[in-house]
């Protein structure tokens, strides 16, 4: 009997850790179940280990473990399991067994034209593809949103770090009227600020691109520009992205009966002209209320961080530690990055602390309570020192996945303590990523590190005591 063949695609918004952890988990599970698998990864550097049309054709089924668009239309007609990337990490055997046991629904892409050669812009009515068993709309909307976030982050991180470096020359070093003025610092600040300035249009563009491919991206970018210039901020950008994507879907339906030979005209002329006109008509009247809502939200968050840092730190810490790179974590992180663009450097400090703490909790626990962990776990724990120090939260996931009911609350507590102390100390972090690498530009660097260490050590001791109790009931096997 020949081996079952499965192809898979993984992807997460940041494209740093979850993407590759899910791929590795699927490969290990496939080896255990005697299944042949090829996993395509959609990381921050792009698509790696790309699936060929022949490999897809020969596959007995497809697994998509992703929180972003991975071009699912090419899997038309194949049994397909579509889940969040976290499930690819936590339950890879279950996903593979769904293919083996014939439980996966056959994927039907809307308006599929039967050939990869017909991949014109008119096939962009691929939005919200449904299997015969129906689609989880909540996950679909989340995928579209995270596709925007995924493409936005490099602009935020790159620009934010350059701005942060410019502060090393002095807080006012980019101001020609100030005695701290430095020409190189101004260059860094200007270039970083330019990168930051396209954050909302990029977010909107790639939300729309996820829904309706390239025509949507153009309309989404313009919608994002309108939202940004009108003061509607990231809320306006998110709304503009979704509106733009579905404008193109509507236009595709309305223009569907045009001759196939005019597809080029539609993609280069009709979609952009009509789409940009419609997004302008729709966004103009709603920018004012969105601006008020956006400013109200920013003011509320700023007031809470100063009047009730305990509550804010508890919420931020719990969100960052709950799913470590998932929807709740990303909601806190994206809010922090967007507040950075508004000049609020305090909120991001707590978010960063809460994201750094989880892997350090694991790392410290494997050192302090060494004998209650296997050799493999101790090795993974050592790696978590590096991951945590560079703001990569996901290293804690394999440990949490073994007993999430117990471990996740411990991680959430440690993250919350780190965030609360950060807000109480009034730490400012001008860079949206980088972990301890950005310490030179952190205002209150010592207090920030101290906050993270206290939260991490508290979590590590509680987790270590839990492992000690578990080991007494079931001795560790090396």
Which residues are known catalytic residues? 12
The secondary element (H helix, E strand) that includes residue 75 is none
In whole angstroms, give the CA distance from residue 331 to residue 146: 10
Q: Which among 203, 287, 197, 285 has a CA at the least distance from the CA of 242? A: 203
CA angle 404, 408, 409 (to 5 degrees): 125
How many C-beta neighbours within 10 Å does residue 200 have?
30
Q: 454: part of which helix (H) or strand (E)?
A: helix 445-473
Of 85, 13, 91, 80, which Cα lies nearest the Cα of 51?
80
Rounded to the nearest 5°, which phi and psi values hold at 374? Answer: -75, 165
Render 162-187 in DSSP notation, one character per residue: HHHHHGGG-TTTT-TTSTT--HHHHH
Crossing angle (nearest 10°) for helices 137-166 and 327-341:
40
What is the tally of helices (H) and strands (E) in the chain? 17, 7
Give the position of tokens 């300035």. 197
What angle, rounded to 10 degrees, do the helices at 183-197 and 137-166 form?
170
Nearest by Cα to 99 from 24, 42, 35: 35
Is 241:206 a contact under the CB 8 Å cutoff? yes
The tokens of 377 are what? 């776990």
Looking at residue 439, the DSSP 8-state letter turns out to be G
């Amino acid at each position: 009997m020949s081996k079952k063949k499965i192809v898979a695609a993984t992807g997460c918004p940041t494209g740093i850790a979850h993407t590759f952890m899910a791929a590795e988990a699927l490969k290990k599970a496939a080896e255990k179940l005697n299944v042949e698998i090829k996993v395509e990864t959609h990381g921050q550097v792009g698509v790696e280990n790309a699936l060929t049309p022949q490999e897809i054709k020969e596959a007995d089924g497809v697994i998509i473990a992703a929180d972003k668009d991975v071009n699912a239309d090419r899997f038309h007609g194949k049994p397909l399991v579509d889940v969040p990337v976290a499930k690819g990490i936590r339950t890879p055997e279950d996903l593979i067994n769904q293919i083996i046991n014939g439980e996966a629904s056959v994927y039907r892409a809307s308006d599929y034209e039967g050939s990869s050669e017909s991949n014109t812009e008119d096939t962009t009515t691929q939005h919200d593809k449904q299997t015969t068993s129906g689609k989880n709309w909540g996950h679909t909307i989340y995928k579209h949103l995270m596709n925007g976030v995924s493409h936005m982050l490099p602009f935020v991180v790159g620009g934010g770090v350059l701005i942060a470096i410019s502060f090393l020359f002095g807080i006012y070093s980019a101001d020609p009227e100030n005695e701290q003025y430095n020409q190189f610092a101004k260059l860094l600040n200007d270039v970083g600020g330019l990168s930051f300035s396209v954050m909302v249009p990029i977010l909107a563009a790639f939300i729309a691109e996820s829904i309706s491919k390239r025509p949507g991206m153009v309309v989404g970018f313009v919608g994002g520009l309108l939202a940004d210039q009108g003061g509607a901020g990231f809320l306006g950008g998110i709304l503009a992205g979704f509106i733009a994507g579905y404008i193109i879907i509507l236009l595709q339906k309305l223009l569907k009966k045009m001759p196939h030979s005019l597809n080029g005209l539609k993609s280069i002329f009709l979609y952009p002209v009509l789409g940009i006109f419609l997004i302008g008509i729709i966004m103009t009247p709603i920018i004012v209320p969105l601006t008020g809502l956006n400013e109200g939200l920013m003011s509320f968050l700023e007031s809470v961080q100063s009047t009730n840092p305990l509550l804010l730190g508890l919420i931020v810490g719990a969100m960052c530690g709950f799913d470590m790179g998932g929807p709740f974590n990303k909601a806190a992180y994206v809010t922090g990055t967007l507040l950075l663009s508004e000049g609020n450097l305090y909120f991001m400090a707590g978010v960063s602390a809460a994201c750094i703490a989880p892997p350090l909790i694991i790392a410290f626990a494997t050192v302090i309570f060494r004998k209650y962990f296997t050799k493999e776990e101790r090795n993974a724990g050592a790696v978590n020192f590096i991951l945590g120090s560079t703001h990569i939260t996901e290293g804690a996931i394999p440990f949490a996945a073994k007993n999430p009911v117990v471990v996740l609350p411990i991680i959430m507590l440690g993250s919350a303590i780190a965030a609360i102390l950060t807000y109480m100390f009034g730490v400012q972090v001008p860079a949206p990523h980088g972990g301890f690498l950005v310490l030179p530009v952190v205002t209150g660097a010592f207090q920030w590190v101290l906050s993270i260490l206290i939260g991490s050590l508290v979590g590590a001791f509680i987790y270590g005591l839990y492992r000690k109790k578990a080991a007494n009931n079931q001795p560790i096997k090396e």
